Amino acid sequence: MLELYDLEKLVAFKTEGTLVAASEKLLISQPALSRSMRKLEDEFGVELFTRSRNRMELNENGRLAADLAEKLLYEAGALTERARALDRSRRTLSVGTVAPAPLWELAPELSRLYPGMTISTTVTADAGKLVEGLLDGGYSLAVLTGRPEAPGLECVGFGSEKLCFLLPVTHPLAGARSLRLADLDGETMLLRPNLGFWADVLKAMPGTRFIVQEENYAFGELLRASSLPAFTTDRVQRRNGVTDGRTTVPISDEGTSVDYFVAYRASDKRRLADALKVVEVYAR
Amino acid sequence: MLELYDLEKLVAFKTEGTLVAASEKLLISQPALSRSMRKLEDEFGVELFTRSRNRMELNENGRLAADLAEKLLYEAGALTERARALDRSRRTLSVGTVAPAPLWELAPELSRLYPGMTISTTVTADAGKLVEGLLDGGYSLAVLTGRPEAPGLECVGFGSEKLCFLLPVTHPLAGARSLRLADLDGETMLLRPNLGFWADVLKAMPGTRFIVQEENYAFGELLRASSLPAFTTDRVQRRNGVTDGRTTVPISDEGTSVDYFVAYRASDKRRLADALKVVEVYAR
DNA sequence: CCGTATTACGCTAGCCGTAATGATG
DNA sequence: CATCATTACGGCTAGCGTAATACGG
């Protein structure tokens, strides 16, 4: 029977030009390769080479066969690759979100509910990309700030979040009951990266210099040691508690208070039932 | 390494549904097939089946892999098939002709000049088909009654042929120096099959009943034993000599005298040089 | 119990490598 | 005579079959 390994040898001979060179590339002996090529001709029932006593070349048949073999080998590789890719996607639950906070609650629960699955998360300000990803299978769950319109998608509420300033108690505005973003514009502020749509909200503070600190411990140290204002949200505080030496002041700008929704494909409803139940609990 | 035989086993399992059935189809034992399927999973690095103690089924990965494997196997078959087809075409010299007589001279010479090649011949009234066939490689040589116009084609003259009546000496018109087709219309005539364009010429004798005899010896017997008029040509007579008890009367209708040309692809000129030389000799 | 998959075990056909041979430029 | 392909021969291992085992409807 024709086998892929034989075709690989044929292709090696095509690219190397001699049995010696090809056999070295294939890490087998010349006699082995010589025999394989004869066997291949037998299997095709067709002469593939012109042979002189110390020279072997592909003839027209051989060139065609080798070219087609090369394609076939590529496709065989693609076959395993696609199977692996499918398996990976079956073992991965991709979650996209427009803001990081909901993810902090959702991701650990997903890990607990679907052990063995890789939870892949993405934070982006682009809600359109998330909806698109839901539809084409790129995401299984998406946390949005509104209900998606696309057919085939459903969603459940996932609570709300309200942006606040986190000011040192010594800050001049620390006593305010409510502030506008513009009130602190021009100062230097501490910020986490990957804020999702919040990054868009902060465009209302064009004069502000943001110091971005990704590392969690370092961020906490900066908060404690510096007198730089920062942001927090009601949701973060409910989860992490208050920060010593800092006071929380709500922001009254439009768009700083949002409702979240977790969207999913209707066809995934059963598969994701456990996760959606957890979402409901958090939504309260 | 992934091998086609393994993929064949996978496909057999997909179509048969159980290892037992598939192993019977493949003419191997169940244990062998069971092991092969495990090996396949190893090679993919991916689970392909859901197993209970006495039931095995393809999972999502497995279905994808089996479907792709089926395609790949088909393409592997096509690969050898194409190589064989190429080989066959390399070993075949296809000759098309609009009339049988030139072929009687050409075919034996081609067999002599290209030993080992299969000479495949076709007689057809449709000259357009022959030109088309020359262009697409379906024919290597075509005998036509005019020079082909298509670019990439060349031709050489191959003599002429003149249609005659072959009448019993007892026939009322046997003494004529020349006749029209219409002069014998309404009689019953002897005919060979596969006349090429001559068949079109005979449409000028709508009232004639033709007795077609393919077999050579039988045709000769009919010629000798019967008094039915028949056709011959100058070219046939030059080759075979005259027929006892018959006289030859030329036909003066338009289109009963033709010049032949042997057409070929210009790119084939060198390969066919020997054949074309022979054509020239016959053309005199 | 019959049908199915898996495990255990011994065998063998196919493929390989080494060594020797042949041809060619 | 250096290089390449082929032939000869012996060894090894992947894959097979048989037999035994285990599970489920």
User: A158, A102 in Cβ contact below 8 A?
Assistant: yes
- Average pLDDT of chain A? 94
pLDDT of residue B282: 82
Please tell me which of the candidates B45, B46, B86 has its beta carbon nearest to residue A64.
Answer: B86
Collapsing DSSP to helix, strand or coil, A149 comes out as: coil
Strand D closer than 7 Å to the CB of A37? yes
Nearest CA in chain B to A67: B79
Helix (H) or strand (E) holding B268: none
Cα–Cα distance for residue pair A74/A76, rounded to 1 Å: 5
Bridge partner residues of B153 (DSSP)? B265
- Strand B153-168 and strand B246-250: the pairing is antiparallel
Other beta carbons less than 10 A from residue B63's beta carbon = 15
- pLDDT bracket for residue B34 (50, 70, 90): very high
User: B49, B59 in Cβ contact below 8 A?
Assistant: yes
Nearest CA in chain A to B74: A72
The verdict on B63 touching A (C-beta cutoff 8 Å) is no
- Quick one: which of B77, B9, B14, B6 has its CA closest to A72? B77
Q: Do A61 and B83 touch (CB under 8 A)?
A: yes
User: In percent, how much of chain A has pLDDT > 70?
Assistant: 100
Query: What does the block give as tokens for B113?
Result: 């000049």
pLDDT of residue B225: 87
pLDDT of residue A243: 83
* Degrees to nearest 5, angle at CA A249 with A239 and A164: 55
Other beta carbons less than 10 A from residue B39's beta carbon = 14
DSSP tag of B146 = S
Strand C closer than 7 Å to the CB of A39? yes
Q: Do A61 and B87 touch (CB under 8 A)?
A: yes
pLDDT in tens, A119-151: 999 999 999 999 999 999 999 999 999 999 999
The verdict on A76 touching B (C-beta cutoff 8 Å) is yes
Q: For chain A, what is the radius of gyration of the CA atoms?
A: 31
Q: Do B44 and A1 touch (CB under 8 A)?
A: no
* Degrees to nearest 5, angle at CA B165 with B161 and B166: 105
Strand D closer than 7 Å to the CB of B1? no
Collapsing DSSP to helix, strand or coil, B93 comes out as: strand
Query: What does the block give as tokens for A73?
Result: 């080998």
- Strand B153-168 and strand A49-52: the pairing is unpaired
Query: At residue A283, does pLDDT exceed 80?
Result: no
pLDDT of residue B242: 84
**Axis crossing angle, helix A30-44 with helix A4-16, rounded to the nearest 10:** 110
Q: Which residue has the tokens 């506008």?
A: A180
Residue nearest to nucleotide C16 (CA to C1'): A32
Task: Average the pLDDT over B105-121 and give the result.
Answer: 93
Q: What is the dihedral of CA A120, A122, A126, A131, to 10 degrees?
A: 10
Task: Average the pLDDT over B157-180 and give the result.
Answer: 94
Query: What does the block give as tokens for A259?
Result: 């409702």
Cα–Cα distance for residue pair A264/A136, rounded to 1 Å: 11
For B159, B196, B255, the CA distances from B201, given in Å and listed in that order, are 19, 10, 7
Task: Average the pLDDT over B177-191 and give the result.
Answer: 94
| Signed CA dihedral, B83, A4, A8, A27: sign only | negative
pLDDT of residue B223: 86
pLDDT of residue A56: 95
User: B19, B33 in Cβ contact below 8 A?
Assistant: yes
- Strand B55-58 and strand B49-52: the pairing is antiparallel
Cα–Cα distance for residue pair A129/A138, rounded to 1 Å: 10
How many helices (DSSP H) and strands (DSSP E) are in chain A? Answer: 11, 11
DSSP tag of B251 = B
Query: What does the block give as tokens for A88?
Result: 């990976």
User: A248, A232 in Cβ contact below 8 A?
Assistant: yes
Task: Average the pLDDT over A86-95 and give the result.
Answer: 94
Q: Do B46 and A76 touch (CB under 8 A)?
A: no
DSSP tag of B242 = P
pLDDT of residue B246: 93
How is chain A split among helix, strand and coil, in percent rounded to 5? 45, 25, 30
Other beta carbons less than 10 A from residue B20's beta carbon = 12
Query: At residue A244, does pLDDT exceed 90?
Result: no
Collapsing DSSP to helix, strand or coil, A206 comes out as: coil
pLDDT in tens, B120-134: 999 999 999 999 999
Task: Average the pLDDT over B149-156 and give the result.
Answer: 94
- pLDDT bracket for residue A106 (50, 70, 90): very high
- Average pLDDT of chain B? 94
- pLDDT bracket for residue B218 (50, 70, 90): confident
Query: What does the block give as tokens for A39?
Result: 């066997």
Cα–Cα distance for residue pair A136/A25, rounded to 1 Å: 42
The verdict on A81 touching B (C-beta cutoff 8 Å) is no
Cα–Cα distance for residue pair B95/B103, rounded to 1 Å: 8
Strand C closer than 7 Å to the CB of A28? yes
- Quick one: which of B205, B165, B200, B203 has its CA closest to B185? B205
Query: What does the block give as tokens for A231?
Result: 């942001």
User: B75, A72 in Cβ contact below 8 A?
Assistant: yes
For A208, A228, A255, B70, the CA distances from A246, given in Å and listed in that order, are 20, 10, 24, 66
Give this prediction's pTM. Answer: 0.74
Supply φ then ψ for residue A159, to 5 degrees.
75, -170
Query: At residue B151, does pLDDT exceed 80?
Result: yes
Cα–Cα distance for residue pair B246/B171, rounded to 1 Å: 9
